[in-house]
Amino acid sequence: MVSHSGLITVMERAARKAGPRLRRDFNEVSHLQVSRKGPADFVSMADKRAEDTLIEELQKARPDWGFLVEERGQIAGDPNKPRWIIDPLDGTSNFLHGIPHFSMSIAVEDPFGSQGKPEITHGYIYQPITDESFWAEKGRGAWLQDQRLRVSARKDLPDALIATGIPFLGHGNFSEWSRIFGAIAPEVAGIRRFGSAALDLAWVAAGRYDGFWESGLQPWDIAAGILIVKEAGGFVTDFRGQEVNLAKGQVLAANDALQSKLHKLLANALR
Span 16-33, average pLDDT: 85
Q: Are residues 167 and 116 in the same domain?
A: no
Q: Are residues 203 and 138 in the same domain?
A: no
> Residue 1: inside a domain, yes or no?
no
Q: Are residues 91 and 191 in the same domain?
A: no
Containing 223, the helix (H) or strand (E) segment is helix 219-231
pLDDT, one tens digit per residue, over 72-116 is 899 999 999 999 999 999 998 898 888 999 999 999 999 999 889
From 125, 148, 171, give the residue that closes a domain. 148
pTM listed for this prediction = 0.95
Q: What confidence category does residue 43 fall into, taking pLDDT thresholds of 50, 70 and 90?
A: confident
Express as a percent the part of the chain with pLDDT over 70. Answer: 94
pLDDT at position 159: 98
pLDDT at position 34: 45
pLDDT, one tens digit per residue, over 142-181 is 999 999 999 999 999 999 999 999 998 888 999 999 999 9
Based on the structure, what is the number of domains in the chain?
2
27 versus 82: the higher-pLDDT residue is 82
Binding residue per annotation — 41?
no
Span 227-233, average pLDDT: 98
Range of the domain at 263: 157-270
> Residue 219: inside a domain, yes or no?
yes
Please return the burial class of 41, using the count of CB atoms within 10 Å of its CB with bins 0-12, 13-18 and 19+: exposed
- Whether 231 has a pLDDT exceeding 60, the answer reads yes
CA distances from 126 to 7, 57, 197 (A): 15, 15, 13
pLDDT at position 170: 83
pLDDT, one tens digit per residue, over 47-72 is 999 999 999 999 999 999 999 998 88
Q: Are residues 97 and 176 in the same domain?
A: no
Express as a percent the part of the chain with pLDDT over 90. Answer: 84
33 versus 110: the higher-pLDDT residue is 110
From 148, 165, 186, give the residue that closes a domain. 148
Q: Are residues 135 and 36 in the same domain?
A: yes
Q: What confidence category does residue 194 fall into, taking pLDDT thresholds of 50, 70 and 90?
A: very high
Q: What is the SS3 string spanning 72-126?
A: CEEECCCCCCCEEEEEEEECHHHHHCCCCCCEEEEEEEECCCCCCCCEEEEEEEE
Q: Are residues 226 and 182 in the same domain?
A: yes
- Whether 14 has a pLDDT exceeding 80, the answer reads yes
pLDDT at position 55: 98
> Residue 93: inside a domain, yes or no?
yes
Q: Are residues 12 and 143 in the same domain?
A: yes
From 94, 118, 148, give the residue that closes a domain. 148
**What gap in Å lies between CA 66 and CA 240, rounded to an integer?**
31
Q: Are residues 10 and 135 in the same domain?
A: yes
Q: Are residues 201 and 169 in the same domain?
A: yes
Q: What confidence category does residue 30 fall into, taking pLDDT thresholds of 50, 70 and 90?
A: low
Binding residue per annotation — 87?
yes
Q: Mean pLDDT over all residues of the chain?
A: 93
Q: Are residues 61 and 192 in the same domain?
A: no
Q: Are residues 161 and 72 in the same domain?
A: no
| CATH code: domain of residue 94 | 3.30.540.10
Binding residue per annotation — 221?
yes
| CATH code: domain of residue 219 | 3.40.190.80
Q: Are residues 173 and 245 in the same domain?
A: yes
Span 192-219, average pLDDT: 98
